[in-house]
Amino acid sequence: MSDPRRTVCKRIIAQEGDTVCVRTQLSSGVEFHKIPKGHVWLEGDNKYDSHDSRFYGPVPYALLQGRVLMRIWPINQLKWVEKEVAPQAFREIAARLLRLIGARTNAG
């Protein structure tokens, strides 16, 4: 990244040893990137307007700061991102938050 102090929220697409195929910006060609040891490849959900590893390359594990467990905005789309990784304490807090705001989660 050009500024390692900048916080971003992206998906991990590939880990060390993986190879990613990326469509180049200026042509219809593709590039292949092998992810080096100790790095990950990050991409945003909006592939046409996301500043991510396609611009700054693989990101060192040391720069990763957390893991997204729940989407909270917009409030009408509140949901767990990955239910299996949410510890019970977080589930209880989220349930209280949902009751407080009167929202409903998706069953499933």
Domain residue spans of the chain: 11-63, 70-101
The answer to whether residue 59 scores a pLDDT higher than 80 is yes
Residue 68, pLDDT score: 79
Separation CA 86–CA 6 (nearest Å): 26
**Peptide bond just before 74 cis, omega within 30 deg:** yes
Higher pLDDT, 8 or 43: 43
Residue 84, pLDDT score: 60
pTM: 0.65
Residue 41, pLDDT score: 95
Residue range 25-54: mean pLDDT, rounded: 87
Return the percent helix, strand and coil in the chain, to nearest 5: 25, 25, 50
Residue 18, pLDDT score: 95
Residue 53, pLDDT score: 92
What band does 71 get if pLDDT is binned at 50, 70 and 90? confident
